[in-house]
Structure 1
Amino acid sequence: MIVHCAAGKDRTGVLSALALEVAGATREAIVDDYVAHGRPPGAILVRLRASET
């Protein structure tokens, strides 16, 4: 499965967490995965802030 959004953190992170839970991952593993990948993607944020839209 591929999930995509502009920054890839909030809605994408929740959807990924739900998919991991359905697949049988432990809550601890889900939280560890989110924390490991929950950093704001710097280059994307710079591009989004510079956009007129």
Structure 2
Amino acid sequence: MGYEQVFPVIASLAILVWLAPAVFRMSPAMRERSAKLAFGLIVVGIGIALVAFAVG
């Protein structure tokens, strides 16, 4: 998998994490944690994409 494919994979994972509370029963704290995790994944994906762009 090339660096150009890293962001879409991480973004897809973030969407799944963000939608998880709609599928599974979670406590309010877990819902908040899943939203923060999804946001963190997006930030990490953007960071990796920027580094890959700068290197490549």
- Normalised to the residue count of structure 2, the TM-score between the two structures is 0.42
Higher helix share: 2
- Normalised to the residue count of structure 1, the TM-score between the two structures is 0.42
